[in-house]
Amino acid sequence: MEEDILNDVKNLHDSNIEFVLVFAGAGGRAIDRILSIPGSSKTVLEIIIPYSNNSLDDFLGLKPEKYVSPETAELMAKKAYDRALKLKFNDNSNILGVSITATLPTYYNKKGEIKSYIAIYHSMGLIKYEINFQNQSLSRNYYENIISNCVIKAINDFYNNRQSLESKDININKKEYGSYFESLSNNHLKSILIDINGEIINNFLKPSAIISGSFNPLHKGHIELYKFSKTLFSSDVFFEISIPNVDKSNLLEKDLNLRVSQFKNNYPLLITNSSKFHMKSELFKETNFIIGIDTAMRLFDKKYYENNERLMHKSIMEIYNNGCKFYVAGRKYQGRFITLKDIKIDNYYKDIFFPISESEFREDITSSEIRENNLK
């Protein structure tokens, strides 16, 4: 068995998998075995051990209902996955968040069963393992050994697309999505980047600026705004499409694919599940949003906040606190060209709104007009 596990570790180090591991209650032997074989620096991004309850609360950002449960294992794996994305930029290797939570025999008599949960979070789904021990009276060393071996085999099974752990003692629950669209729509992923070559990247450096829209279709005005934005900011400017929309129904996958095709070979495109700017600001902190005056007006329209002014201010305050700014281009509206100075903005928020002057950028074409003309 020991030789088999060490071979699994060697296979992991030869794979393109990289992961962050987080352990609470058990898993120490797995760390020892993974690090004892040469090549672990190619595989292990980080190992986190929030051993006390307070430490785990801090890691999760909340106090779980139960510390040893499938739900807590999933939360831990998601946090580990998010951490892995921060540590590994612009790389399409298999990034995983791996967690163990367990309750084992200790120096006092414990209530409840000895059991463990393992979770593996990846871009296209989640795999959870529940390990139940038929014999509840063996040594801590025995259970630690089994759990540590199981987590190594679980990662290896993911890489090799197999299920070597399936048994009467181990329940396996898989939740997998068939596409990035499904993964985003089900809130499993928050965002992906499609680069100019059409490659999908789910771990990337945040851009300096984002131009959000439905791009139905992408037109000259969008492209000229992109070119202007590139003169304002030294690093990347991305377009962004959100699958949910505050004014319209959620995008269908076939419609999204058509819109994505407009950007290939030309411009980087973010796909997110964040329809509102306070959500976008949480994803892309300290980012600049390039918007039109019509979008700026919607930011201060209570209709988009359940007609609740307090909720509106709370949302804009979140954007402010996340260090985001808005650069606002003017637009022809109801027969006249209006700019940032034509709308009322609370003094408290004025320092996060910056005008793009008419001389710097003006394009009166709109996607709605293009669609209407195409129907004629």
Per-residue confidence (pLDDT) for residue 213, from 0 to 100 = 95
Residue 199 phi, psi dihedral angles, 5° rounding: -80, 135
Per-residue confidence (pLDDT) for residue 89, from 0 to 100 = 67
How is residue 8 written in tokens? 């699994």
Could you tell me which CATH class the domain 2-176 is placed in? alpha beta
Per-residue confidence (pLDDT) for residue 226, from 0 to 100 = 96
pLDDT tens readout for residues 182-237: 999 999 999 999 999 999 988 888 899 999 999 999 999 999 999 999 999 977 99
Per-residue confidence (pLDDT) for residue 376, from 0 to 100 = 61
Pairwise CA distance, residues 67 & 73, whole Å? 8
Task: Give me the residue spans of the domains in the chain.
Answer: 2-176, 182-375
Per-residue confidence (pLDDT) for residue 1, from 0 to 100 = 54
- Homologous superfamily assigned to 182-375: HUPs (3.40.50.620)
Pairwise CA distance, residues 350 & 203, whole Å? 33
Pairwise CA distance, residues 14 & 218, whole Å? 43
Pairwise CA distance, residues 99 & 101, whole Å? 7
Pairwise CA distance, residues 240 & 218, whole Å? 12
Q: At what angle do helices 70-87 and 53-60 cross, to 10 degrees?
A: 60
Pairwise CA distance, residues 117 & 103, whole Å? 9
| CA atoms within 13 Å, Cβ hemisphere of 259 | 21
- What mean pLDDT value characterizes the chain? 92
pLDDT tens readout for residues 31-89: 999 999 999 999 999 999 998 999 999 999 999 999 999 999 999 999 999 999 888 86
Per-residue confidence (pLDDT) for residue 108, from 0 to 100 = 61
Helix (H, G, I), strand (E, B) or coil at 224: helix
Per-residue confidence (pLDDT) for residue 163, from 0 to 100 = 85
Higher pLDDT, 355 or 85: 355
pLDDT tens readout for residues 104-131: 987 666 667 899 999 999 999 999 999 9
| Residue type, position 216, single letter | N
Question: Distances from the Cα of 194 to the Cαs of 123, 125, 149, 268, in angstroms?
Answer: 14, 19, 37, 6
Q: How confident is the model at residue 281 (pLDDT cuts 50, 70, 90)?
A: very high
Per-residue confidence (pLDDT) for residue 134, from 0 to 100 = 87
pLDDT tens readout for residues 225-280: 999 999 999 779 999 999 999 888 899 999 999 999 999 999 999 999 999 999 99
Contact 152, 118 (CB under 8 A): no
pLDDT at 90 over 60: no
Contact 131, 169 (CB under 8 A): yes
Of the chain, the percentage scoring pLDDT greater than 90 comes to 76
| Residue type, position 148, single letter | S
pLDDT at 356 over 90: yes
Helix (H, G, I), strand (E, B) or coil at 269: strand
Other Cβ atoms within 10 Å of 246 Cβ, number:
11
Strands (DSSP E) contained in the chain are 17-24, 44-48, 94-103, 115-122, 125-132, 170-176, 191-194, 200-201, 209-212, 237-242, 269-272, 288-292, 325-329, 331-333, 336-338, 353-356
Strands (DSSP E) contained in 276-343 are 288-292, 325-329, 331-333, 336-338
**In the block, residue with structure tokens 């209570």:** 302
Pairwise CA distance, residues 27 & 100, whole Å? 7
Contact 265, 181 (CB under 8 A): no
Residues whose CB falls within 8 Å of the CB of residue 366, separated by 6 or more in sequence, listed in order: 219, 221
